[in-house]
A and B are shown apart, each in its own frame.
Chain A
Amino acid sequence: MKRITSAVAGFAVLITLTACGDEQPQTEGTNESAAPVTLHLLSHTYASLEYYAGQLEAKAPEGVTVEAEMTNYSDWQEKMRLNLASGSDSYDITYITPQDVAEFAANGWLEPLDDFVEKYRDEYDFDDIPEYLWEAYSYEGHIYGIPSHQWAMILFYRTDLFDESGLDVPETLGQLVDTAKSMTADGRSGITLTLAAADMLMVTYQSFLTATGGWFWDDAYKPQFSSEASLTAIDYIMDLYEYTPADSSTYTNNEAVVAMGQDLATMALLQTTRSSAMDDPEQSIVVGKVGFASAPSLTVGGPSAAIWNTAGYSIPKDSAQDKELIFRTIANATDKQSSAGGVESSMPCRESVLTEDLLDGRSDYAAAWKAIQSGATLRPTIPEFGEIMEISMTALSSVITGQAEARTAMEQVDKEVEAVLKDAGYYN
């Protein structure tokens, strides 16, 4: 009995010592304690996100190691949601976009960064990041993310084929349809779009909706999917669908980049995050033959058929690591030097990097910047948008592939979306 008591007491002491060891105090903002820290990042992946994941690893404070897990957007979203909802501390840094900020912050899953931003405003020159970007990462008055890069939907086009045909680069949606039609020849499609439901189809739909002057709901949050502006946007998408490669209804950015890069399409409406792939010999056989222009508008001078978006990094509320240390790790990776180093793969956020010189040398960024200034829209930042997107884009995919009539399907979408918004308390 005595032996058992001694063993239990010894085990208890061991447990206590182990627990104490886990709670070594961190020095604010730096890892001055000797214990090495490993921060876990979960991120979506494409060229610029790989660059910034590399910066997080390379510029982490002394004693800090960053382990990056890169996956596609859907997997990132589902994995991160489940982790955050379950209160798991598996990840310390997460890739984030403004629409995810809204959902995650509304649920209290993210760490507010206001105090850190104020404290390190001068050291990291946060005033160099324009206000519209800080607003994008804010929810109910609090900042939840640090932006790393931004992008917009632009028109990719084959300069050699346009030169041969003598056609002008389309400036209006009507011209875009006509040009796509006349450029569909020799086994090459006139245009490629991202039409895979739900996320990528939403990118395309919102872009066209921006051009036709519509929005998802009115000021009282009454859904507007069956409005004339929305149906006009859908008409243009369906007109263009005639001249896209077969199976376009399943195209994400990846397939659209393959179609454009492998000489299977003459034009593409894609985001600037994919423009660098056109000059990458490993992904493209048309290196040096792809030009960029602002996405067409409904009428000349109107808003482009474009969305804009941005990605950055946030801190999960339940991370067990020192939040200030994590903040500094993110701030180091998105500072002016990192931002300047990332211009090859992504359009920077910082005003000191996004200069006239850069825009003069990069027609893709110039086109995106023009779209942003002409009224390109950010995806709605309400927590319910994920579900609304799933409902509406599944229906729109049925419309595009001829399984449903546009007005009837969109009227049904209005009803279902209204139920979602009502359930969430938008009409109280």
Chain B
Amino acid sequence: MKPARTSRGVLNRNRYLGFAAPSVMVMFAIMIFPLGYAVYYSLFAYKLGREPTFVGLGNYVNLLTDRGFIGAVRFSIVFTLVTMIAQVVLGMAIALLMENVGRSRKLLSILIYLPYFISATASGIIFRWIFMSDWGLLSQVLSVFHISSPSWFDDPNWAQLAVVLVEIWQNTPFAVIIFYAGLQAVSSDQMEAAAIDGAGAWRRLWHVTIPNLRHLIILVITIRYMDAFRIYDRIAVMTGGGPGDATESVSLFAYRTAFTNLHLGKGCAAGVLILIMLAIPVSALLKLMRNAEAD
């Protein structure tokens, strides 16, 4: 039998809603309002300094046929996939290594985590000068071994590789932190039982460790996907999106459209498309994570 709805119950519920109101207002102010504003202006041809004119989905159609935007999406997808896979694999390997080292674990963990604490802009500046071909640190080191450094920033392929390598260097520690914490929670009983049953190190990894860390792997993939796809600052500093537009990410494209070329409407439309490209895979990943946790 259902409890009867009393006026006191309704009052209590309203009171709780009142408690939530400040958070809702803050959410509205910092998330919903700017998003709504961007969606609204994405429907206008709005060049800074001129009157906005309504164009409906014109900016979106324009973007989907813009070779600059398509190139930026293509680069962002490749960049995200390569760095994400590398960070998960390397992160797992380093976390396992840390689990199995003895006394030097503390020092090793500090060294490994260090890149993660450097700001993206600072790392961009550092690596721009490291990769600079004629006087960069890398070039000097390679010259000791009589190896000539490639033109990292003149060649589109090398430039893309350079930004990928720095992204992997800087954000793999995040995966290490998560996986290392997860490894502490893997039951030693399971590992011992597998060992007694004759499972070698690889089989224990595939059949015990990884299944236990499945939800954390999805978590790392989700967060790294979001960050890598939206990358702006490090690329802006390292290559400026060049040579040509070889390393232009979608965020860099949106920024240039809005703040260099002053097409605010088109820039907002690019922002909305980026949000959609983020939201769909992330929703799927979060669902996958919930399923993994339920298992």
Contacts and interface: CB of A to CB of B under 8 A. Distances in A.
B261 A250 contact: no
B243 A249 contact: yes
A397 interface: yes
Contacts of B155: 401
Nearest to B139: A246
A245 interface: yes
A404 interface: yes
B261 A247 contact: no
A387 B154 contact: no
A400 B259 CA distance: 26
B17 interface: no
B133 A85 contact: no
Contacts of A262: 135
Contact of B243 (A106, A259, A383, A401): A401
Contact of A250 (B49, B135, B153, B263): B153
B265 to A, nearest CB: 12
Given A85-B48, A386-B261, A246 B133 contact: yes
A180 B151 CA distance: 19
A394 B154 contact: no
Contacts of A247: 131-134, 151-154
Contacts of A390: 256, 260-261
Nearest to A395: B244
Q: Output the residue of A78, A401, A404 with the most chain B CB within 10 A.
A: A401
A81 B262 contact: yes
Contacts of A255: 132
Interface in A190-227: 196-197
B156 A258 contact: no
Interface in A236-261: 245-250, 255, 258-259
Given A249-B243, A395-B244, A401 B156 contact: yes
A397 B135 CA distance: 22
Contact of B244 (A82, A383, A394): A394
B242 A249 contact: yes
A283 to B, nearest CB: 14
A404 B244 CA distance: 9
B261 A397 contact: no
B245 interface: yes
Contact of B240 (A81, A107, A196, A387): A196
A245 B132 CA distance: 10
A99 B144 CA distance: 47
Q: How large is the interface on A (under 10, 10 to 19, 20 to 34, 35 or more residues)?
A: 20 to 34
B121 interface: no
B235 to A, nearest CB: 12
A403 interface: yes
Contacts of B209: none
B243 A246 contact: no
Given A81-B259, A401-B155, A245 B243 contact: no
B262 A259 contact: no
User: Dominant SS at the A interface?
Assistant: helix
A6 B155 CA distance: 73
A264 interface: yes
B246 interface: yes
B261 to A, nearest CB: 4
B153 A82 contact: no
A398 interface: yes
A65 to B, nearest CB: 31
Nearest to B136: A247
Contact of A249 (B149, B153, B260): B153
Contacts of A81: 48, 259, 262
A398 B262 CA distance: 23
B239 interface: yes
Contacts of A404: 244
A351 to B, nearest CB: 36
Contacts of B242: 196-197, 249-250, 394, 397, 401
Contacts of B49: 85, 106-107, 383
Given A107-B49, A247-B154, A264-B134, A387 B262 contact: yes
Q: Output the residue of B48, B134, B241, B261 with the most chain A CB within 10 A.
A: B134
Interface in A10-57: none
Contacts of B135: 258, 262, 264
Contacts of B243: 197, 249-250, 397-398, 400-401, 403
7 contacts: A107-B49, A189-B134, A255-B132, A386-B260, A386-B261, A399-B244, A401-B244
List 10 tightest A-B contacts by C-beta distance, closest first: A398-B244, A246-B133, A107-B49, A401-B243, A246-B151, A247-B153, A387-B261, A250-B153, A249-B243, A245-B134
Given A189-B134, A245-B133, A250-B154, 10 more contacts: A107-B48, A196-B242, A246-B151, A383-B49, A390-B260, A394-B242, A400-B243, A401-B156, A401-B243, A403-B243
Interface of B: 48-49, 68, 131-135, 149, 151-156, 239-246, 256, 259-263
Interface of A: 78, 81-82, 85, 106-107, 189, 196-197, 245-250, 255, 258-259, 262, 264, 383, 386-387, 390, 394-395, 397-401, 403-404
